[in-house]
Amino acid sequence: MDAEAAKLLGAGLAAIGAGLASIGVGNVFAKFLEGALRNPGAADSQQGRLFIGFAGAELLGLLAFVIAALLIFQ
């Protein structure tokens, strides 16, 4: 396998991480809604944790995208 093929293969694997981040974001919101429907009184206090979880999952997806872009264009 030459270097160009290995670079594109690594970029493809990094792109999988970006796709998996969307599953993580979906899980964050699903668990928040599940908890909010079980205990509506505590939903307001958990909203900050919702946004932190969303930001963390989204950050990992963006990091995987940046790594894929660097592997392709460098």
pLDDT digits (tens, 9 = 90+) for 23-71: 888 998 999 999 999 999 888 888 888 899 899 888 988 998 898 889 8
pLDDT digits (tens, 9 = 90+) for 2-30: 888 988 898 888 888 888 888 888 998 99
Report the Cα–Cα distance between both ends of the chain, in Å, rounded.
18
Domain assignment of residue 26, given as a range? 3-71
For 57, other C-beta atoms within 10 Å of its C-beta total 20
CATH number, domain of 31, equals 1.20.20.10
Given phi > 0 = left and psi -120 to 50 = alpha, else beta, which region is 39? beta
Number of domains within the chain: 1
The pTM for the full model equals: 0.74
H helices within 1-74, ranges in order? 3-38, 43-73
Is the separation of the CB atoms in 64 and 10 below 8 Å? no
